[in-house]
Each structure stands twice: as structure tokens, then as C-alpha cells.
Amino acid sequence: MNKHIIIATYDGIGTHYSGVGTIAKNIIFALFALSEKYDFRVSIAYINVDKSSKFFNKSCFQESLDLVKKTGGQIITLCNTTKGESEWDMWRSFEEWDFACVSLVTSLNIILDDEEENILILNDTPFLMFAKFKDLVFKKNLRCFYFPLSTGLNHAFGIDAWRNKRIRIEKDCFALIKNDPDSKVISLGKSFAESMHRDYDLDFGQNDYLQNGLCFEKYKNYLDKKFGNSDLEKYDINIASDKKIIFSWGRCSIAKGFRELANAWAKAYESLPNHYLILQIPNNSGEPDYLAEIKEILKDIPRSIIINDFNPDIWKTVLRTDNTEVVCIPSLMDPFPHTSIEAKLFSKGMNFITLISNVDGAVDAFDENESIYVDPRNTAVFSNKIIEAVNMEMDKRKEIINRNVLSIENFNFPKIFENFIINNGFNK
């Protein structure tokens, strides 16, 4: 029986502003490569954004269009009341989840073929709501893989009433999924699976993971390059050529731990007079007060630079800058951040050590002998770990980096995804 794979997502098709979008892009990249080997068609359902909008990502959209054209699938625009311009659009109310999922039902009733095995990958938590409406899909030859990238109990932020409602919705949806033999929840990593088992009584078998990873080919233009501090000037990062860099990047969200890093730097900077803290933290998460809080912490702290810009060339350049000595991934609530794997990949031939949060799933990318584990909520310990990383002897630094060079192949996403489709019978 022919296979029809449908991907539902709110980012990564017409826009790219979050890790949700990066995962969608990685799946599309992997499926394009695998379409040479396996016989399936691919359709993509997404939250539309006006092509005249500054948020529209032409290259993302073209990659998606190329995939569906190559495999004979369709592009589906889902209806809701958002503008599709930011992650926060989908999270501002649970009605948006409803609208998108009902629209998906309508679209599936039009495009699904009873002569095919239809496989639906639902990318991120808002699409859990599809479980409420799945029975409205007329064609029953449908397998659903729900892929939440956070939960209300794992991501402990937002006002209590909103968060409590989110948790109730998630519990209801997970119960429906558990009772549906044609549906399953898949987890981004082992740490997040443990959280969902503890919080929602979900069980995960060995084939119930779609581990996070990278499409290495997308980074090759940077991996053979090295930069100096002067190369950062085009991004308005102006620091002397001999000054060293402590760096962190990601969307400006409470979950990412940038406030904790700012507090640690405020305690450590006097001991590190030759170092700058650079934060690339685009404010697209619907948490404007959080960015203001970080700026307030650092306003009187010298050698602190905050960049509110999503431009990926910035973080790629900083990671390939010789004077970058410490990279921080201080996530508080993150199943498996892309930044952790990107830090591992970009460390080849460089001088930086990665400080990784041991609070949540960030450690899934690093063994203890490949990084320095830290609890970012302990400001005193965090600041001391930054100083320790800066002062690490070069021989030990190189040993740690070499271990990461050897283990990065474990995060080759096209291989990860191929194993996933084989283990779940997409290829049969």
C-alpha cells in the first residue's frame, strides 16, 4: 500500500522563528533525501503567513514546495485567527489550537485516499487537540504521531489560570491518544519522555522517540570557516581584538534561562576582566517583560551585549570566532534544545567549552565528560562554573572538544529520521 505522510506545523514552512520550525525544516530536509530511496508522497499543513509580510521565509516555503511537488503531495493552509507571525500567535489562546485542528480535519477529509496508508505527524503541543476531532476524519486509514515539544507541567510559566487550563487540555488529549490504537505520542528525547511518563502517565517504547538532531549539510558553509572579533563588527558587536567571548543564544523565553545567565554574569564579570557576555535573544516569544528584565539586570554590568535579532548568521559567526571561550545553554525547561547540538557541531577546531543545564533535556546532547553541567538556578555555582570554564587548561579543553567531535554523528538527523520511519513501518 502506498504511503502518504502529512506534516502539521505552525512554523518552519512559511516562517522560521522557533525550534518548532527547525524541527519541521529538518523533517522536510530528511524526507526530501529519503524520497530517493522510499516510495511515499508528502503533504504539508501549516499556519499561513502573508507572503508580503516581513515574517515570510521564502527559502523555507520553497523547500516545502519542492518536497510536495517531488512526491506528489499538497500544501495545505490551515485556518485560524492568527497572522502566523510568531510562536506566540498559536499560544495566545487555546481557541487557536481548536481552529487549526478543526481546519486540519476538513483538509484531511478532502485530500486523504483510502487506497493509501496515511501517516500524520503533528508537530508540537497545539496539535494535541487533533485527538478531540480525529473521529471526524471520514477516512479511517490514518495513523497519528503526536509530537509535543513542551507540556504545561514541564514548562512551568504563564499565569496560573492559563497554565492550569493547558494542563487539563493536555491530560484530556493524552487520554484520548492512549486509547486510540492508531495513535501514539512520540518524544524528542529520553529526558522529556521521563517527564511525560511522570506527569501524564505516558509510556514510551524503544520506537517512540524522534531524537533531536541536525542536518549537517545546512551548516557546511560555516564549519570550514574561522573568524576574529573584527568579523563581528558587521553585526554591531564591537569588541577589541584580544577580548574573549562568553556566548548564549536562542529565543528570549523564560524557558531558556537567560535571566539566570545574566545574574551569573553579574556575579562573575569582575573576575573576568578580559571577557564579554554576548546574548543573541530575539524577542519573539510573547514575553516582552522577560527581555526587559534581562536588560535591567545587565544595564550597569560592563561588557554585556544583548542582540534582539534572529539572524542565524550572527550565532554561527560567534561560534566560529577564535576568541569564543565559553558557550552557555542554561535552559530551565527544554526537552532537547537545538542550540545544544549546534554548540557540539560547531566546536570542532574551536576553543570553547559548553556549559549545559542539568535541569532538563539539554543534557541529552552531552555526556558529563563532554561539557560542564550546571544548575542555572544556583547563581553562585553558575558564576563559578563560568570562571572554571574560562580558566580550563588548554589540554583538557581540547580533550573535551575532541570527544564532542566523535559523538556528533549520533545527532545526524536524516539518519535519525530514517531509523524512525523504518522502526514505525513507514517504509513497508
pLDDT per residue over 364-407, tens digit each? 899 999 999 999 999 999 999 999 999 999 999 999 999 999 99
Confidence check: pLDDT of 287 > 70 = yes
The rounded distance, in Å, linking the Cα atoms of 213 and 198 is 25
C-alpha distances (whole Å) from 339 to each of 48, 366, 420 are 26, 12, 22
Asked whether residue 12 is domain-assigned, the answer is yes
Average pLDDT over residues 85-90: 83
DSSP 158: S
Asked whether residue 333 is domain-assigned, the answer is yes
Confidence check: pLDDT of 30 > 70 = yes
SS3 344: helix
Asked whether residue 352 is domain-assigned, the answer is yes
The rounded distance, in Å, linking the Cα atoms of 10 and 85 is 10
Dihedrals phi, psi of 244, to nearest 5 degrees = -100, 165
Same-domain pairing of 201 and 223:
no
Give the pLDDT of residue 224.
93
Same-domain pairing of 327 and 362:
yes
SS3 388: helix
Give the pLDDT of residue 427.
67
Same-domain pairing of 180 and 225:
no
Q: pLDDT averaged over the chain?
A: 94
Average pLDDT over residues 317-324: 98
Cβ contact 49:85 at 8 Å = yes
Same-domain pairing of 174 and 252:
no
Give the model confidence (pLDDT) of 243-264 as tens digits: 999 999 998 988 899 999 999 9
Same-domain pairing of 191 and 237:
no
Task: Residue 182: give its domain's CATH number.
Answer: 3.40.50.2000
The rounded distance, in Å, linking the Cα atoms of 427 and 143 is 14
Q: Which residue has the higher pLDDT, 242 or 17?
A: 242
Q: Which residue has the cell 504521531?
A: 145
Same-domain pairing of 306 and 380:
yes
Confidence check: pLDDT of 62 > 70 = yes
Considering the entire predicted model, what is its pTM?
Answer: 0.91
SS3 307: strand
Average pLDDT over residues 164-188: 96
Same-domain pairing of 385 and 320:
yes
Q: Mapped to the 3 state alphabet, what secondary structure does the chain carry?
A: CEEEEEEEECCCCCCCCCHHHHHHHHHHHHHHHHCCCCCEEEEEEEECCCCCCCCCCHHHHHHHHHHHHHHCCCEEEECCCCCCCCHHHHHCCHHHHHHHHHHHHHHHHHHCCCCEEEEEEEECHHHHHHHHHHHHCCCCCEEEEEECCCCCCCCCCCCHHHHHHHHHHHHHHHHHHHCCCCEEECECCHHHHHHHHHHHCCCCCCCCECCCCECHHHHHHHHCCCECHHHHHHHCCCCCCCCEEEEEECCCCHHHCHHHHHHHHHHHHHHCCCEEEEEECCCCCCCHHHHHHHHHHHCCCCCEEEECCCCHHHHHHHHCECCEEEEEECCCCCCCCHHHHHHHHHCCCCCCEEEEECCCHHHHHCCHHHCEEECCCCHHHHHHHHHHHHCCCHHHHHHHHHHHHHHHHHHEHHHHHHHHHHHCCCCC
Give the pLDDT of residue 428.
63
Same-domain pairing of 124 and 185:
yes
Q: What percent of the chain has pLDDT over 90?
A: 82
Asked whether residue 428 is domain-assigned, the answer is no
Give the pLDDT of residue 19.
87
Same-domain pairing of 185 and 241:
no
Q: Residue 115: in which H helix or E strand, if any?
A: none
Give the pLDDT of residue 45.
98
- Structural domain range at position 202: 2-213+412-423
The rounded distance, in Å, linking the Cα atoms of 398 and 408 is 15
Asked whether residue 27 is domain-assigned, the answer is yes
Same-domain pairing of 339 and 397:
yes
Cβ contact 178:197 at 8 Å = no
Domains held by the chain: number: 2
Q: What percent of the chain has pLDDT over 70?
A: 99
Confidence check: pLDDT of 1 > 90 = no
Same-domain pairing of 159 and 264:
no
Average pLDDT over residues 302-321: 96
Confidence check: pLDDT of 361 > 90 = no
Same-domain pairing of 158 and 80:
yes
Average pLDDT over residues 294-319: 96
pLDDT band at 89; cut points 50, 70, 90: confident
Give the model confidence (pLDDT) of 192-233 as tens digits: 999 999 999 999 999 999 999 999 999 999 999 999 999 999
